[in-house]
Structure 1
Amino acid sequence: MDGGGRAGARAALLTAAVLGIALVVVIVVRTPWEVLPEPPGGHTAPDPAAGLAPAQLDRAEAFAAALRPASLLSMALGLAVSAVLGLTRLGGRLVHAVAAPLGGRWFVQVLVGVPALVVVGRLATLPVSAYAETVRRRYGLSTRGWGLWLRDVAVSVAISAALTAVVVLVVLWLVRRAPRTWWAWAGGAAAALVVIGSFLYPVVIEPAFNSFEPLPAGELRTDLLALADENGTPVQDVLVSDASRRTTALNAYVSGFGSTRRIVLYDTVLAELPEEEIESIVAHELGHVATDDVLTGTLMGALGAGAATALAGWLLTRRALLRRAGAESPGDPRVVPLLLFLVAVGGLVSTPVQNLVSRQIEERADLHALDLTRDPEAFTAMQRRLATANLGDPDPPAAWHWFFGSHPTTAQRIAMAEDWRRLERSR
């Protein structure tokens, strides 16, 4: 590596460190670490059973016990396949081989090589996914036929492959055009892509899996629109998703920004929950809007993407790493499997941090729902009904929840509702 190359590598590493520190600062400042003050007499101890009947509890625990090994195996298989393709010459040979019949130019290798790598990785985990789908069907959580399941898998793979191919194509183009500073340009592009994706997801990706119809005029629609107005975050529409084609699970969410912001209810929610519990769910989702959680998540994602890209810029100056992948330079298409492996490792390492932040943000949204509706009974009943319908373990193992838990447990959420009630009585 010449002097300019060493300087570029040092700049990339320094940039990764600075952006990483900025990310930590944003996480520390923007994450609500203490959501609810301690009520008189101390916080309520979570009931591990969360008030569920023994039969419901046994069913949820049996479902989790059947599904958790599959989740771990799928994660391990995906990472192992990515490592084999990225840390050996096998991945580079695959990229070259699939592009050879089309001329084999570098951009062709990217455009057909990335989908090939994505498909190989997905095929490796497909049997585990099929087993998990079998478990969901056995417990009545999935209503999909195998044809729709395969269609969903195919659409998901196609979207992932297409988006990844475009991103990698831009990265390699930048590497070839600006070999010493590509990581800076790519980091900016990655951050911008996170922001753009947040805006486009509700109008581009969501319709690929579900159909949406406006909630008919009536008391519920009027009340939900009024709730959004009271929240200070008016929405453009209330939509119903045809989720029952795939699941019996209950859910609702608010997506989009400005003119695309809308409340979305699963049709299963309309069928199963009374109006006051639907309002409690929606109030929780409106809490995310009121506190700009999507914008905060977008900022965190943009900083994380920028830091990861700069770190990749430093790693790809390591000749030993390039040789292991069979690539001659960072601009060689044979580096693509290595890039995808680095992304997979980064995603795995960042998962517990993302979920820690998510749990705190979700807890704040729960508090917002209680403050907005003033109905802890409906909130508690809704949490129990969600746990029953979605087969959620109300008190999962601590290590599992630390790594995979994106929301507080049902037991924790019900205990917080009791704390809120006690605080309100003491005022």
Structure 2
Amino acid sequence: MKKKIVKWTLILYPIYLLLVWLYLFQWSDFGVPAAYQGSAADPATFMTDRQLELSQEYSRYRNFLSLATIPLEWIIYLGVFLFGLSHLFKKFGESISRFRIVSIPIYVLLLSGLSWFLTFPFDYAYRFLSVRYGISTDTFSGWMRDEMISFWIGYITMALLITVLYLLMQRFEKRWWLYAWIGLIPFIALMMFIQPVIIDPLYNDFYELQDKQLEEKILALADEAEVPADRVYEVNMSEETNSMNAYVNGIGSSLRIVLWDTTLTRLKDNEVLFIMAHEIGHYVMNHLYWNLVGVLAGSFVGLYLTYRILTWLFRRYGKRMNIKGVADIAGLPVLFIVLSILSFVAQPIEMTFSRGAEADADRYAIEMTGDVDAAIGSFQELTVNGLSDVNPPAVIKYLYYGHPTMMERIHMLEEYQK
């Protein structure tokens, strides 16, 4: 059984990579549809030939990495399980302490560390591409620092969630998934609250916007939209990237309006105001809360399906896999594979809803500011600085694009102008 799985993995994964390469580099058309040629949405009207060439190269290589890593997580967890590492991790944790509240976090640390080590070459490949194409300006030491922060935040969060989950599995054989979902509600709300004030500052320095005149204009937009904000924050992202961004996040007293300093230096004030009006639109239309509803609904379905799948798997193959039951921590890699596959299946649905919300925020922003030229200019500048692909291949769009393509966004603005 193990030999067959390894054999077919070694055969199918290279074939998958070949098909991905052919799809992105041979079969996908990076051209501009005739209906958009010569319009403001046509990159040839605002990008040089060299920028267009770099944009297409960067997009192809980055998209290849993204698609290549989809099954990688499944392969890693499958290997951990098949080669007995999962049982070794379990035994080591239990040798440290017989209490599951201690042994489970130790297991999670070993599994997380191994997974991070095995995926590190792909993470570094992403960084290499970003540096080579002038997107990233971060030093290797700065990048590694952020990697370590992300690892430990991810580990602490995962260790807490997995420990609680497996204690629930042990206590409630048939209802653990429901109690786990109920516990997610306050946890997600807490994370939304602490993200802007505790987690984000671990990566970058946040300070009050230096341009007070621009801050007054942004706060005037916020006041008009009844957004309860009394200051605008600036974050020093120029140390890491040439990309631009702005956002409104947090809930209650942790609400923050944030601008990357790269956005401030590369966009005109009226273009910045359009970007901020877009972010304010998300707040006004309660997209943050609708996103929370979506996450909770998706997690409810996902946890229930996971419960059904794991119950079936371990009843049928538990003895062969040397797994005592759903609550056996040695089966965690199987749980992760199931959750990852379910997440992958749900991702296009999530992206579809996200693109709809982003399009609504674009319309809100142009209606609020009324400055079409500034709106188009901001999107064109975002495209140039990020070497964005205005017309990505269909698979990439539906899997990864939480926004409409830049071509679609700029075209919408042109239609609004008419």
Task: Please classify the TM superposition score into its range, dividing by the shorter chain length.
Answer: 0.7 to 0.9
Further displaced range: 257-266 or 308-317: 308-317
Q: Which residue of 2 aligns with 1:186?
A: 180
Q: Does 1:276 align with 2:270?
A: yes
Q: Does 1:314 align with 2:313?
A: no
Among residues 128, 131, 153, which one is paired with 1:134 in the alignment?
A: 128
The one-letter amino acid of 2:153's match is I
Q: Which residue of 2 aligns with 1:404?
A: 400
Aligned length: 379
Superposition map of 1:283-294 within 5 A:
283-294=277-288
Give distance in 1, aligned partners of 2:46 and 2:409: 14
Q: Does 1:125 align with 2:84?
A: no
User: Contact 2:235 / 2:260 at 8 angstroms: preserved in 1?
Assistant: yes
SS in 2 for 1:186: helix
Among residues 241, 255, 260, which one is paired with 1:261 in the alignment?
A: 255
- Aligned CA distance change for structure 1 residues 185 and 147 (closer, same or farther; 3 Å): same
User: Contact 1:253 / 1:285 at 8 angstroms: preserved in 2?
Assistant: yes
Q: Which residue of 2 aligns with 1:169?
A: 163
Deviation at 1:366, TM superposition (A): 0.5
Give distance in 1, aligned partners of 2:146 and 2:190: 24
Q: Which residue of 1 aligns with 2:29?
A: none
Further displaced range: 227-236 or 270-279: 227-236
User: Contact 2:105 / 2:159 at 8 angstroms: preserved in 1?
Assistant: yes
Task: Report the TM-score when normalising by structure 1.
Answer: 0.84
SS in 2 for 1:265: strand
Q: Does 1:197 align with 2:217?
A: no
The one-letter amino acid of 2:353's match is V
* Moved segments of 4+, more than 6 Å: 43-46
Give distance in 1, aligned partners of 2:221 and 2:364: 12
- Structure 2: which 5+ residue stretches go unaligned? 1-34
Q: Which residue of 2 aligns with 1:366?
A: 362
- Aligned CA distance change for structure 1 residues 74 and 94 (closer, same or farther; 3 Å): farther
The one-letter amino acid of 2:174's match is R
User: Contact 1:106 / 1:332 at 8 angstroms: preserved in 2?
Assistant: no
Deviation at 1:50, TM superposition (A): 6.6
Give distance in 2, aligned partners of 1:229 and 1:360: 25
1:295-316 deviations in Å (ceiling 9; x for gaps): 0000110111122222222223
1:13-41 deviations in Å (ceiling 9; x for gaps): xxxxxxxxxxxxxxxxxxxxxxxxxxxxx
Give percent identity, aligned residues only. 27
User: Contact 2:194 / 2:254 at 8 angstroms: preserved in 1?
Assistant: no
Deviation at 1:181, TM superposition (A): 2.1
Among residues 407, 412, 417, which one is paired with 1:416 in the alignment?
A: 412
Deviation at 1:44, TM superposition (A): 7.5
Q: Which residue of 2 aligns with 1:345?
A: 341
SS in 2 for 1:316: helix
Give distance in 2, aligned partners of 1:278 and 1:254: 14
- Aligned CA distance change for structure 1 residues 419 and 119 (closer, same or farther; 3 Å): same
1:43-90 deviations in Å (ceiling 9; x for gaps): 98874537332332222111112222222222332231123335x363
- Structure 1: which 5+ residue stretches go unaligned? 1-42, 423-427
Q: Does 1:55 align with 2:50?
A: yes
Among residues 377, 380, 383, which one is paired with 1:384 in the alignment?
A: 380
Q: Which residue of 1 aligns with 2:244?
A: 250
Q: Does 1:354 align with 2:350?
A: yes
1:116-173 deviations in Å (ceiling 9; x for gaps): 2122122211112112211111111111111111111111111111111111111111
Deviation at 1:95, TM superposition (A): 2.4
Q: Does 1:212 align with 2:244?
A: no
The one-letter amino acid of 1:339's match is L
Q: Does 1:83 align with 2:78?
A: yes
User: Contact 2:277 / 2:364 at 8 angstroms: preserved in 1?
Assistant: yes
Task: Report the TM-score when normalising by structure 2.
Answer: 0.86
Give distance in 2, aligned partners of 1:49 and 1:324: 57
